[in-house]
């Protein structure tokens, strides 16, 4: 999501007059959403490549800039919601994830459900990394886990010139890949690569 408004924070404001329009591909797997001070690009399964998605982002941004002519960007976000189904029950979480929930000694060790969220900040740029790790319900009954990686780069004064948007997006993509790779083991990696 790219925003060019100056208000950035953690509060939620409901604005009944805020309208967003979605443009969907014929198969509804690609979505571009546009609204006041925001443009976002989304891709759903089956995924293609980063280069293909990057081209979609660049096209959406280019169209938005030609119409709106924003002078700068206040915020860029990149979010990947990874779902991993593991065909074994119970699942030995440390076999697949590097930071599984670990109940303290003396408490029951058999997890039925969990949700872990970590918010951290990079030292080299005003980028916030939010990782959420949880179990999720599946229609098949197989154990499923959600690894949500959300990066938000808030540009204060001065805001980011439009010309720097794709470079910043590429930077966020590198950081997202580093976070993803740090959170999974080779066993999980082989399941992702099997798709």
- Could you report the per-residue pLDDT of 16-33, keeping only the tens digit for each? 556 888 999 999 999 999
φ, ψ for residue 182, nearest 5 deg: -75, -20
Q: Which residues of the chain have pLDDT under 70?
A: 1-18, 193-195
pLDDT at 12: 44
pLDDT at 107: 92
Q: Which of 134, 16, 35 is nearest to 81 (CA)?
A: 134
pLDDT at 193: 62
pLDDT at 86: 86
pLDDT at 59: 95
pLDDT at 1: 47
- The domain spans of the chain are 2-193
- Residue 153 CA to residue 33 CA, distance in Å, equals 19
- Residue 144 CA to residue 132 CA, distance in Å, equals 14
pLDDT at 17: 53
3-state secondary structure the chain: CEECCCCCCCCCCCCCCCCCEEEECCCCCEEEEEECCEEEEEECCCCCCHHHHHHHHHHHHHHHHHHHCCCEECEEEEEEEEEEECCCCCCCHHHCECCCCCCCCCCCCCCCCCEEEEEEECCCCCEEEEEEEEEECCCCCCCEEEEEEEEEEECCCCCEEHHHHHHHHHHHHHHHHHHHHHHECHHHHHHHHCC
- Residue 27 CA to residue 113 CA, distance in Å, equals 34
> Which tokens in the block code for residue 146?
């959600």
Q: Which of 80, 84, 26 is nearest to 50 (CA)?
A: 80
Strand partners, 3: 38, 75
Q: What is the pTM of this model?
A: 0.84
């Amino acid at each position: 999501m790219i925003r060019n408004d100056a208000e950035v924070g953690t509060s939620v404001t409901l604005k009944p007059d805020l309208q967003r329009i979605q443009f969907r591909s014929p198969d509804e797997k690609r979505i571009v959403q546009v609204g006041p001070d925001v443009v976002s690009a989304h891709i759903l399964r089956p995924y293609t490549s980063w280069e293909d998605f990057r081209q979609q982002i660049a096209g959406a941004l280019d169209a938005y800039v030609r119409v709106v002519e924003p002078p700068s960007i206040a915020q860029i976000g990149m979010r990947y919601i990874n779902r991993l189904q593991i065909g074994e029950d119970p699942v030995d979480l440390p076999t697949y994830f590097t930071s599984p929930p670990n109940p303290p000694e003396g408490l029951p060790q058999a997890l039925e459900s969990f949700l872990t969220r970590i918010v951290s900040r990079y030292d080299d740029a005003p980028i916030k990394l939010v990782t959420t790790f949880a179990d999720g319900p599946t229609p098949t009954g197989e154990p499923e886990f959600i690894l949500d990686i959300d990066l938000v780069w808030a540009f204060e004064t001065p805001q980011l010139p439009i010309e720097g948007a794709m470079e910043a997006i590429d930077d966020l993509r590198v950081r997202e890949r580093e976070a993803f790779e740090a959170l999974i083991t080779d066993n999980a990696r082989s399941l992702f690569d099997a798709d």
